[in-house]
Structure 1
Amino acid sequence: MALPNREGQTVPNVTFRVRENNEWVNVTTDEIFKGKTVVVFSLPGAFTPTCSSTHLPRFNELAPVFFENGVDEIVCLSVNDTFVMNEWAKDQESDNVRLLPDGNGEFSDGMGMLVNKEDLGFGMRSWRYSMLVKDGVIEKMFIEPEVPGDPFEVSDADTMLNYINSNAQPPRVATIFTKVGCPFCAKAKSMLEDNNISYEEILITNSGVTSRTLRAVANAGTVPQIFIEGEYIGGSDDLEAFLAK
């Protein structure tokens, strides 16, 4: 039986049991969706490989662009309890996404997306999909194909962003290797910030990520060393020349 596409229908009326500040809180679908534009992506389970490595991090990374294009909130839903989802949130880059526990599978069942994954020892879980919901009404759904395993082809963040605005530009992201007290590192970070390029900073120390790591990655012994979207840029002067282009 084909999984249903519920475009044009309202989302299921469900109350989620959520743990916040060591207290139980009831969150209704009205609170989440009423009068708002919401992107939802649902997945088989917290801490599972594709969900952790790609699905959630990319939605979190693109969240500012979604918000610039009229989305009020991004919700990640899984048939897990609230304790699991809260721990997963701590483990992930998820500051821009609300992780919602569909512990009893009621929302997923109401969507027609509750599937049996007992072959993996999971029991009943959500099929992977994403949707755009406006004031509680589903405008668009991207449902993964019904093939064995855990397909991940259409419910990704970039596909949803392209649907909302095909001209939207994903933000550029950088990785910068630095050392404490390095003035050229401070200059490079300032240049990245001035150009609205978010960055991950990796500190070179005597333990953990060392100068040997830096040589292996960038074939360089000085800091900063900068990569933008995976492209090696070089030091602060190289960054300045790159941005001037």
Structure 2
Amino acid sequence: MTQLQNREGQRVPDVVFRVRDNNEWQNVTTGDLFAGKTVVVFSLPGAFTPTCSSTHLPRYNELAPAFFENGVDSILCVSVNDTFVMNEWAKDQEAQNLVMVPDGNGDFTEGMGLLVDKTDLGFGRRSWRYSMLVKDGVIEKMFIEPQEPGDPFKVSDADTLLDYINKDAKKPDQVVVFSKPGCPHCARAKAILDEQGLAYVDVPLDNKIRGKVLGAVAGQMTAPQVFINGTLIGSADDVETYFKR
């Protein structure tokens, strides 16, 4: 494998990206994306691939409000894929907080010195996984995955880059509601969360599995059961009490 390059202190490559937007072709330059802005970039091997879809992209999308509150103007997801693939991936991931950058020919990635050969997987040439903080087109900090076999994912994650920007940054709460379809108490619990401005994942459970699932994860048999940042809050009444405190 070619030696991967850390380009801290250098300018990003001067590249034109071909983007399809509203059924029209557009040219987007690195100047459009970086000039006069503080930009977070994360680059990955491919759209719709397992780690990229399950962890890498979703966490950047989730932490986007925290990045924006700490001086970041935009978050770019770069991959050596064409614009049609990147657009569909953005829809699939509901990645409304991210700017998808299709480096279809690999020009930007090659200019970064991070284009690698994955022909053994049938991928051709793709990006090595990395992240960086760029200010007015100049790379301030890079987190490049270690040069080892496979697809390591140890340092280019969203939390690591946000911690670099501000180790005390307030991250969005992670909230899950285990609910029962048609349950008024579940609706009340979710209404309380909405009032608090908390985004949550609703996990509806049917009668066949509800008792076993809730008994296993919450020690309770009734819905709803609400968790915030890994802590069991409990029922709708418990959620109300939690926020009153």
| Common topology (TM > 0.5) | yes
Tell me the distance in 2 between the aligned counterparts of 1:65 and 1:216: 36
Tell me the distance in 1 between the aligned counterparts of 2:91 and 2:116: 27
1:144-197 residue CA offsets vs partner (Å, 9 max, x unmatched): 000000000000000000000010121112111345664433332233234343
Query: Which residue among 208, 214, 222 is the counterpart of 1:212?
Result: 208
**What pairs up with 1:168-207 in 2 under 5 angstroms?**
168-179=169-180, 182-202=183-203, 204=204
- 2:5 is the counterpart of 1:4: yes
Instruction: Report the counterpart of residue 42 of structure 1 in structure 2.
Output: 43
Tell me the distance in 2 between the aligned counterparts of 1:40 and 1:18: 17
Secondary structure at 1:10 match in 2: coil
Quick check: 2:36–2:136 contact (8 Å CA) kept in 1?
yes
Instruction: Report the counterpart of residue 229 of structure 1 in structure 2.
Output: 229
Tell me the distance in 2 between the aligned counterparts of 1:58 and 1:97: 11
Instruction: Report the counterpart of residue 14 of structure 2 in structure 1.
Output: 13
1:45-86 residue CA offsets vs partner (Å, 9 max, x unmatched): 011111011000000000000000011111100001111111
Instruction: Report the counterpart of residue 90 of structure 2 in structure 1.
Output: 89
The aligned amino acid for 2:209 is: T
Tell me the distance in 2 between the aligned counterparts of 1:91 and 1:195: 27
The aligned amino acid for 2:96 is: D
**What pairs up with 1:154-173 in 2 under 5 angstroms?**
154-173=155-174
Gaps of 5+ in 2: none
Instruction: Report the counterpart of residue 238 of structure 1 in structure 2.
Output: 238
Secondary structure at 1:132 match in 2: strand
The aligned amino acid for 2:207 is: S
Q: State the 1:29 CA deviation.
A: 0.8
Tell me the distance in 1 between the aligned counterparts of 2:36 and 2:212: 51
The aligned amino acid for 1:65 is: A
Matched-pair identity in %: 65
Quick check: 2:214–2:222 contact (8 Å CA) kept in 1?
no
What is the root-mean-square deviation of aligned Cα atoms in Å? 1.8
Change in CA separation of 1:93 and 1:214 when aligned onto 2, cut-off 3 Å: farther
Tell me the distance in 1 between the aligned counterparts of 2:33 and 2:67: 17
Quick check: 2:181–2:206 contact (8 Å CA) kept in 1?
no
| Larger displacement relative to structure 2 (216-225 or 107-116) | 216-225
Gaps of 5+ in 1: none
Q: State the 1:235 CA deviation.
A: 1.0
| Larger displacement relative to structure 2 (173-182 or 38-47) | 173-182
Tell me the distance in 2 between the aligned counterparts of 1:172 and 1:213: 27
TM-score normalised by the chain length of structure 2 = 0.91
Tell me the distance in 2 between the aligned counterparts of 1:80 and 1:118: 15
Quick check: 2:180–2:206 contact (8 Å CA) kept in 1?
no
How many residue pairs get matched?
A: 240
Change in CA separation of 1:214 and 1:181 when aligned onto 2, cut-off 3 Å: closer
The aligned amino acid for 1:211 is: N
The aligned amino acid for 2:67 is: F
Tell me the distance in 1 between the aligned counterparts of 2:3 and 2:190: 50
Secondary structure at 2:200 match in 1: strand
Tell me the distance in 2 between the aligned counterparts of 1:99 and 1:57: 13
